[in-house]
Every structure is written in structure tokens, then in C-alpha cells.
Amino acid sequence: MTTISEIAADTKLAVQVQQLLINLKLLSGVADGKVGPQTIGAIAELLHITKSIEVTDELLQLKSLPQPQLDLSKGDFASKIAKYMLSQDYWIDENHPNIVYAEGCDPDGTPNADAMNEWNDLRLILVVNKNIPAIAHKWVATTEPGLKYTNAPLNPDGAFRIAFGQYKAWRVGWHKTHEALVQCGEIVGYRDKNKDGMRTGDRVVQGSDYAVNQHWGYDMAHVDGASAGCLVGQQTVGHLEFMKVVKSDLRYQANDNYVFLTTIISGDKL
């Protein structure tokens, strides 16, 4: 149908293409009709995934990305994660690392009580090898704010707690003094105004400026002040390994402003 340069010259078409890319979680932000590096990269990724040569009318009608045909017969932790992601129509990339957080899960994948202020969640790298999902890397983490910021939130409406889902909203940057994935796109979450450490009944919020980063937890024994609502790996050495994996992604190698997709899952759904 058309080339990238033709899309860039047609604002209405550019907005349509951008909205498609946002819906497919290949692009973050808003459809403004300005075809910059992020949009160009997302179009290239779409064409690669769909094995297309150009953006066609048929491609513009796409409702979801074609999911890989995975062998889930092993029934292991990786297969359970992949099965759940497919059931929710979350994108699983068979060619690149998938960042996944499993809340309330022990390292072996067993659901736990998800007690407040504990490192009882997992930060995972899910990969696909010959149609079989596998966990390539695993670190103890938290997806929730610690006791310090639950009781004394930085926002008067309450500490932020991310909603389960999949978001294309992080790029490589700096969290205070160390390299991390920093929020650059829109996410959904809850404000824990009643300070009960739960999402139930809390006000839902949505935005791109909450500074919900993926950083390290300073090797603290409990979460406490290590997280005000970020996605945090407990150990410094583990976080450095995580960033090494993230930066080895060929999409980041081609574009150091690449925006990463991250999936947050409740362990009791697995």
C-alpha cells in the first residue's frame, strides 16, 4: 500500500498507523501524526512480526499480533506463564527476551501469600526456543511499594500499585544513581489511599509520568523504602544481570531509545 515516507507525508494516515501500533503494544504515547524514530522502529517491528513488505489496508485492520504456535506440553512454570499470557492476548515475542513480573510467586513458581513489604515476587526473562517457552533468567523482586511509602506516600492520594497487564512503557535510562528501565509510556495502577497494601477498592489511575521504574532494591532485607511503587529487583548484582540482558536485545542495539514491553501477572492466575 505505502512506504514509511508516504505515511510520514500523510498526517491522517500517520495517525491511523500510530493508533494501530499503540493498540498492538508496539508503540507508546499518543497518535500525533509525527513519524519519528519511535514510529519508524515500530512500523519496522510490525512488518517483521507479520512477515509483510509494506503497510497494507489489510494490515491496518489487524486487531492483534499473530501469536507464535507454542508447545506448552511441559506444563512447567514457563509454560504456565505463556499459557496465561496467550489467554489474555498478551504479546509473546519468540525472537527477543520477554520481561515478565509474577507477583506473589516463589522462585519455583509456587504462589505465596504475597505478604506486604516482602521480596515475594519474581522478575523474569521469558524466551522461546523452538516453540517451547523457557525462563532464561529469574530474580527475586517486588511489584509493590514497601511499608515506608505505603504509610508515608509520595502522593497524597496514596502509594502507586501497578495494575496487572502488559505495557510498552520503559526505556534504558537512570534511576537516581544507577542504570535502569525508566518509565516513558502510559501505565495503569491504583492509589492506596487507605494504606491497606491492597488494590481492592482503590482509585484507578492512568498516566505516563509516575516515575515507575525498573531498578535495583539496594540489597535490602525487606522492601521498606526500596520501592514507592516501582518494579524492583532485590539484589544489585541481579539487577546488573537484568540490564545486561535488556541491553543485549537486538532492538535496543539498533535503537538505544527502544521502548520495552513488560508484563505483570498475578501469581494466583498461574
User: Model-level pTM greater than 0.85?
Assistant: yes
Among 118, 129, 124, 44, residue whose Cα is nearest residue 95: 129
Judge residue 38's burial from the number of C-beta atoms within 10 Å of its C-beta, 0-12 exposed, 13-18 middle, 19 or more buried.
Answer: buried
Instruction: Report the run of H or E that residue 165 belongs to, with start and end.
Output: strand 165-175
C-alpha span between 103 and 189 (Å, rounded): 14
Report the share of the chain in percent with pLDDT over 70.
100
Judge residue 263's burial from the number of C-beta atoms within 10 Å of its C-beta, 0-12 exposed, 13-18 middle, 19 or more buried.
Answer: buried
- Find the distance separating the first CA and the last CA of the chain, reported in whole Å: 42
Among 138, 130, 136, residue whose Cα is nearest residue 94: 130
- The DSSP call for residue 105 is B
List, for residues 4-60, the tens digit of each pLDDT value: 888 989 999 999 999 999 999 888 788 999 998 889 988 988 998 898 888 888 899
Domain boundaries, the chain: 4-60, 77-269
